[in-house]
Structure 1
Amino acid sequence: METFDLSRLTDFDFEAVCKDIFEAEYGFPLEIFSPGADAGIDLRYLHAGGSELVVQCKHWVRSPRSKLVAYIRDIESRKVKKLRPSRYVLATSAELTKDAKDKIYKALTPYVTTPSDIYGRHELDALLRKHENIVRRHLRLWLTSASVLSSLLHKSILTRSRQLANDLDTTLRTYAPNESYARAAELLEARHSCVIAGIPGIGKTTLAHVLCAKYVSASYELIEVSSDLEEANALWDDDVPQIFYYDDFLGQTALEEKLGKNEDSRLLSLMRRVATARNKRFVLTTREYILAQARQRYEKLDRHRFDLHTCVVDIADYTYRTRGEILYNHIYMSGLSRELKERFADPRVYLPIIRHPNFNPRIIAATVAEAELLSSDPEDVDRRIIENLHSPRSIWSHIVNHQLKEAEVHLLELIFSVSRDISFQDVQEIWTSLDGSLRQLRHSISILEGTMVRTYRKSSKVFLGFHNPSVRDFMRDYLLEEQGGFLSLIRRFSHFEQVENILITVSVRAEALQLFMANKALLEEAATRSYDSPGLHDDGVNRSVDLAHRARVYLHLGEVLDSEVILDCAHRMLDEDDAIDNAYDPHDVVEIVQILHGANRQSLRRMFPDALQAAMEWIKGDLSSWPLLASAKSFFEELSGIVPESEVQEIEDRMQAEAQDLIRGWSEEGPDSMSDHSIMEDVLAYASEYANPEEIFDGYAEAVAQMPYSDWDEPEFNRREVGSSDSCSSLLEESRAVASMMESLRDDD
């Protein structure tokens, strides 16, 4: 039997739900009054004969039931006597015993004409089960139903990612529905995959969490993909409804954190596999500008028309009312004092925030969290929100410069020094090697967790990372401004991943190059010290021990810094017989060949022939399937003008022969053939590039006819267009709703 955790609703949510419940029960519309000045009236109906029905809604979650009974007896009953309604109905989220109900009935007689006009938690649950359409209409109510919450606590989810379950739970408490949800939900249901894109902090991950919760409540198993798509394929179960979730699938801050070997092909293959599976869904998030970069770099991603699978979360999605709900939900659900919450009922406090041109949900959440956990002067929280909206960096700047101790700042610097989350084991080893105490480390983590740092467990390891990408962005800028601190950090580098982050920093901040060039000797010492370091622990594929990857980073960094020392380290890596043979990422191999081919230094030019030969042998080592052939073709196309034409032609001939076999089989058997639908889509796209595919590929027309419908020309699910709904009258209605919502922060409970 479905139940609802009404305690997780806000006061405003509760009143809106009660309005819909009693309108459905009584069959007539109810007036709703703003909290605070209602004199005991939340909802009212005036009958034609002059009689009056009054409904009072008491969301009672922070005080015991006995205090509710006392409040009704001592305060509410006086209001009711002044009103003298024909009928008075009380609805409360508190669980009422028979004794409590009898006492309330006695206090409100004769205006409560029967005890059945007193609705506690169980009675409201029964009405919500009766009127399921109301539950679906109120997204936040539905997301707090027992089925959703129990699904999030299911053992299979907790086993894979307890942190994700906690994150989903937190999201559901503060989420404010907006137009992006409807677009993304429609897209996910229609295409089974949805790429959520947008600017930093706009709410991409929040939207993804809500979509995941929706499907989890429908008995879908939630699979979080952390670093490698093989995680999804390994856990794929044809018989089980599953939703796969891949946050920041292209990296958090730059494309340098790029897709691994054939990851672009595997990504598209998984999306196609999901598209043809009735019981599978796939949700991905990325920053919009990184998605644009990826489509430029990876031809397959561009050809796939990612825009047809992309929902862009835009500031236009946040109407006046949505902004008000976001602010209200974060204040209401926070641990701030009652007095401080009541400050936000003042229009002079909330209006500048809601109307701010830089309104950003992440800044609201982060500033409130700061006030809860760190701020020495929390009564300034509204001023701090405005400051942070004016200058988004200021939220982290205020914490780092005014509230953190030296050890805590050093921990932030250590986490920043690598380009991804880092295991606690590695943090501990690096920390103690720098003469820091474990007690100090654990204390620093406890201070930072929840605001700037998060910890989570995966594959039996505890990992640390920044709470969200904006913290990494801030730390990069902070260190580039505090150059002495950055140079001191580099002096302590001992791992390859830290040197790699230098290259990433140069790629996203041009001013970093000037600093590094001026201190090249320091960088060279760090690179020499770190080039053969053991890789950091990872729960997925540990790319840091890939010599080809390391060589590519050192070649690129050596070229950027014009450093013979760093290039010599790369030379030594490539001298290893299996450096390219054991490469993981084809883009590393391509860049190595390109750099050596275009190098001015004779030492690098001399390495080019052997590297090219090793690269060609590596990519041709296994051409046993269409995806491997397509990867080889893409590899050689990137090295056009470098790879001998005979090698390119050999791959083309083999692809044509493979395509002929696959098309012939599909034309005869269609979906019943041994070929995967997603692969056939690629094969037919390849064949269509020929001027006369029907003549070259037997059965081409028949094969095309047997393919499921194409979605190339389907409508896009993209940004919200501002239309007639954004009228002056609707804005006035939204303004009244927000005023009523914020006024409810003046709480009787």
Structure 2
Amino acid sequence: MAILSSTFGQTVEPFEDGNDAGRDGAFRGVWRDELAEQALAGAFVIQAKHSSADKTISLSNVASELPKIADLHRRGLCDNYVLMTNCRVTGESNAAIVEAIKALGVKDVRVWARTWIEDKLSNSPELRRMVPRVYGLGDLTEILDDRRRQQASAILHALGSSTATFVSTAPYRAALDALDRHRAVVLLGGPTVGKSVIAQMLALGAVDAGGMDVIKATSASEFLEAWNPGNPNRMYWVDDVFGELSAEPSLLDAWSRNMAALLAARAQGNRFVFTSRDYIYREAVQRLKESNVRFWDNARIEVVVSDLTSAERQMILYNHMKLGSQSTNFRSRIKPHLAHVSSLKSFTPGLAYRLGNARFTKLLDPSDRLAVTSSFDNPTAYLDEIIGQLNARDKAAIALLFAAGGELHLPIQDSARARNLVVDLGSTLESVPPALESLDGTFVKSERFPVGATYTFAHPTIREAANRFLQSGVATVASIVRATPFPDLVGQVDLRHPDAIPPKERGRHLIVGEVEGPSVVEAAVRHLSGVSGYGAWRVKSDLLELLARRASPDVRALFVANGLEYVSEWATTVVHSASARRLFGLLQNEQSLPEGARAVALSQLVDAARDLRSSVWMTTEWLTETEVTEIREEVEGVLQFPDDVLEGITDSYDVDSNPDSYLEDYWSTVDELREIFADDDDILARLNYYESRLEVVTADVNLMSQYAPWEDDDDDRRDDLNDRQPAESTRSIFDDVDE
């Protein structure tokens, strides 16, 4: 259907498999075929003949269709017949098929075989984007130029077998449409639903159809380093944009600070593909500015497995089983259960991949329906069991990869810390490279370089399983802390007592606890004293989050005693940092807040209140009642004569920045002050005057701005997207899965 609609523009009606009366598709009208000597017209029947075997089709293979064709012709439903097949067709077979069907009264017959289909794919980038699994089936050298071929080959290497097993689902088509309309898409969903694979397919399609450069970035800073305002033909692809296991403040802050650059790049023609777990996204948008949230929400596409059709689920599972690494015996024994598995509420593409991979099913009896079902319903427990069955060498490699922050470079830098960790697990440092090589493509994935390689976890769920594995006590927590560089350690540990950790947060971080807290504090102070620039900023941001949300009172007090200068630095961020305000509140309640740092923080809140750009002073719990009253009186006085504030807003504006982002604090403060002074008519009247003047200032700022605005398309059009849903089948797609 995709080939016919994209190549000829025909609107072909599909029929359900098994109830088609010899018609997989139908068309009535004039057929636009440039190769035909005359236009074909009337009623068309399109029939597909597919074989998973490499074979040549003959008249005998279509003999069962002849009575159906004769009946369709008598009923006026078949003036022309099109046979499409992935098999070879010889000249002799083609002539025999055409003559037999014409003998039934059909005016014209077309037989389009594998070479014809391959030719259409080679000459239509848009068609390849619609059915992207073909990238894994053909030779890219016949389609792409050298530069694009190198990029596409790199993406294919990262995908592994995912390309050939990919199924074009409604979320993929919606993402493709959003990318074309909006130039940005944020793919959201739970673990293993296939967000990253969809992103990779979008990137591959951009290389092919758009001739675009694809930049794989991990943060806003990497995007900025790669952004070239003179090159509008580039796609930026960012997995886990706000964090892999939880929302990371440093990533949120960086994207917020660089939103103007992101929007400017998009306005120039660049495209963006982001992925995020749904719960991380929800956590992130609560911390982002409203004007920034609008960008992310407009680009959002939910990847919800429960919305997949039964046929899509079955095709996904079929592809993974047929093209996976399982033996014929395994596939034969599990075949009776596959239709049931595809209908499970817990079914996801990622779990289908693992079922088709022999490395993940060593403990599974494929004949046991209950066991197969359990591997989907309880994937966490099953994955933990699989990792527990790995040999000591492989476990040590996974542990070292975790300790390296999820990114391990080869050759490994020989250090006592790394060596001690793998020894704790019964292995050696020299055994890690071959172990990673053996795990590549299953538990880990690699990126190769002329010298060395970089390994990461194949999926965040495997990193989480590694966390649980290490938490079980197979290695001492102390050795893990010592083996992990501090920039990687700070974001993945929890310094609270296990009983103090809410159930919903367990499993996200390595529970180091209070005992090793002093070691982490010592490592933090030692690290921060030797770094500067962006690296220091990111570590400080992650450390602030750790102390504010995942540390015990004793650990916080110890850090204050040893890192007072950093606490004082955080005091300057309390206006916009909820984590800083939370930390200061905890320290005050625990009687650990330094008076000097508190004074700086209070001064920041007062200044922001006086400038009418923040009202957080009203909800900052560590302020005294007297301090709140004094700030309130300051705000009332400013509203009496706000012209100086209004003039300052205009004078301080940077013409290269996004006016919406710049003015958002002032506008949101107006609404918040209305709530604070809801019972004071005099103040509300002053606010009305201030708001009217702020509208004038807003107009002036927009006139001054050099920032190129971007008007978002009406994304409600996605709801009207005409998806080509696969027809539900009355046959079992799994019939030949073991052939």
TM > 0.5 fold call = yes
Q: Tell me what 1:202 maps to.
A: 193
Q: How does 1:186-585 map to 2 (within 5 A)?
A: 186-216=177-207, 217-232=209-224, 234-255=226-247, 257-260=248-251, 262-277=253-268, 279-300=269-290, 304=294, 306-341=296-331, 346=335, 348-369=336-357, 371=358, 375=362, 385-402=372-389, 404-417=390-403, 419-424=405-410, 429=415, 430-434=417-421, 435=423, 436-456=427-447, 462-480=453-471, 482-483=472-473, 485=475, 487=477, 489-490=479-480, 493=483, 495-496=485-486, 497-498=488-489, 500-503=491-494, 520-525=514-519, 527-528=521-522, 532=526, 541-543=534-536, 546=539, 548-549=540-541, 552=544, 555-556=547-548, 560-563=551-554, 567-574=557-564
- 1:675 matched to 2:651? The reply is no
Kept in 2, the 8 Å contact 1:262–1:586? The answer is no
Q: Secondary structure at the match of 2:283?
A: helix
Post-superposition Cα deviations, 1:679-702, rounded to whole Å, max 9, x if no partner, equal 122345456546344435656557
Post-superposition Cα deviations, 1:10-34, rounded to whole Å, max 9, x if no partner, equal xxxxxx779x599989999999977
Letter in 2 for 1:600: E
Candidates 693, 698, 717, aligned match of 1:695: 693
Kept in 2, the 8 Å contact 1:34–1:42? The answer is no
Kept in 2, the 8 Å contact 1:195–1:309? The answer is yes
Counterpart-to-counterpart distance in 2, 1:458 and 1:266: 33
Give the superposition deviation at 1:448: 2.1
Q: Secondary structure at the match of 2:493?
A: helix
Give the superposition deviation at 1:298: 3.1
Give the superposition deviation at 1:594: 1.5
In the alignment, structure 2 segments of 5+ residues that lack a partner are: 27-43, 71-80, 104-108, 671-686
Letter in 2 for 1:734: E
Letter in 1 for 2:350: R
Q: Secondary structure at the match of 1:210?
A: helix
Highest RCO, 1 vs 2 (Cα 8 Å, sep ≥ 6): 1
Post-superposition Cα deviations, 1:540-580, rounded to whole Å, max 9, x if no partner, equal 9534995x4586467558x933436x743553233589977
Kept in 1, the 8 Å contact 2:567–2:597? The answer is no
Moved more, 466-475 or 687-696: 687-696
Counterpart-to-counterpart distance in 1, 2:230 and 2:379: 45
Q: Secondary structure at the match of 1:691?
A: helix
Counterpart-to-counterpart distance in 1, 2:154 and 2:729: 37
Letter in 1 for 2:535: N
Counterpart-to-counterpart distance in 2, 1:231 and 1:130: 32
Q: Secondary structure at the match of 2:737?
A: coil
Candidates 157, 165, 184, aligned match of 1:166: 157
Letter in 2 for 1:398: E
Give the superposition deviation at 1:325: 1.3
Counterparts in 2 of 1:567 and 1:197: CA distance versus 1, 3 Å? same
Counterpart-to-counterpart distance in 1, 2:141 and 2:531: 34
Post-superposition Cα deviations, 1:343-367, rounded to whole Å, max 9, x if no partner, equal 56x5x32221121121111111123
Kept in 2, the 8 Å contact 1:60–1:94? The answer is no
Letter in 2 for 1:366: R
In the alignment, structure 1 segments of 5+ residues that lack a partner are: 1-15, 46-51, 624-628, 664-673
RMSD: 5.9
Post-superposition Cα deviations, 1:184-241, rounded to whole Å, max 9, x if no partner, equal 3333333322222122222222222233333332222212221334524642334432
Counterpart-to-counterpart distance in 2, 1:384 and 1:740: 22
Give the superposition deviation at 1:416: 3.1
Give the superposition deviation at 1:498: 3.0
Counterparts in 2 of 1:189 and 1:91: CA distance versus 1, 3 Å? closer
Give the superposition deviation at 1:174: 2.0
Kept in 2, the 8 Å contact 1:180–1:311? The answer is yes
Letter in 2 for 1:397: D
Q: How does 1:105-144 map to 2 (within 5 A)?
A: 121-126=114-119, 138=131, 140-141=133-134
Kept in 1, the 8 Å contact 2:17–2:728? The answer is no
Q: Secondary structure at the match of 2:249?
A: coil
Counterparts in 2 of 1:659 and 1:740: CA distance versus 1, 3 Å? same
Counterparts in 2 of 1:56 and 1:493: CA distance versus 1, 3 Å? closer
Counterpart-to-counterpart distance in 2, 1:165 and 1:634: 51
Kept in 2, the 8 Å contact 1:422–1:465? The answer is yes
Give the superposition deviation at 1:271: 4.4
Q: Tell me what 2:733 maps to.
A: 741
Letter in 1 for 2:688: A
Candidates 540, 564, 584, aligned match of 1:594: 584
Counterpart-to-counterpart distance in 2, 1:148 and 1:634: 60
Counterpart-to-counterpart distance in 2, 1:261 and 1:306: 12
Counterpart-to-counterpart distance in 1, 2:328 and 2:160: 23
Counterpart-to-counterpart distance in 2, 1:631 and 1:419: 42
Q: Secondary structure at the match of 2:313?
A: helix
Counterpart-to-counterpart distance in 1, 2:523 and 2:228: 42
Give the superposition deviation at 1:654: 8.6
Kept in 1, the 8 Å contact 2:494–2:511? The answer is no
Counterparts in 2 of 1:700 and 1:550: CA distance versus 1, 3 Å? closer
Counterparts in 2 of 1:487 and 1:323: CA distance versus 1, 3 Å? same
Counterpart-to-counterpart distance in 1, 2:128 and 2:270: 25
Counterpart-to-counterpart distance in 1, 2:408 and 2:611: 34
Post-superposition Cα deviations, 1:26-79, rounded to whole Å, max 9, x if no partner, equal 9999999779xx9xx99799xxxxxx9997846577x6xxxx46xx7xxx6776
Q: Please give the TM-score of this superposition, normalised by the length of structure 1.
A: 0.68
Counterpart-to-counterpart distance in 2, 1:267 and 1:258: 14
Kept in 1, the 8 Å contact 2:393–2:428? The answer is no
Give the superposition deviation at 1:331: 1.8
Counterparts in 2 of 1:190 and 1:438: CA distance versus 1, 3 Å? same
Give the superposition deviation at 1:282: 1.6
Give the superposition deviation at 1:176: 1.7
Letter in 2 for 1:351: A
Counterpart-to-counterpart distance in 1, 2:337 and 2:291: 46
Q: Tell me what 1:9 maps to.
A: none
Counterparts in 2 of 1:703 and 1:326: CA distance versus 1, 3 Å? same
Counterparts in 2 of 1:407 and 1:581: CA distance versus 1, 3 Å? farther
Letter in 2 for 1:349: H
Kept in 2, the 8 Å contact 1:188–1:281? The answer is yes
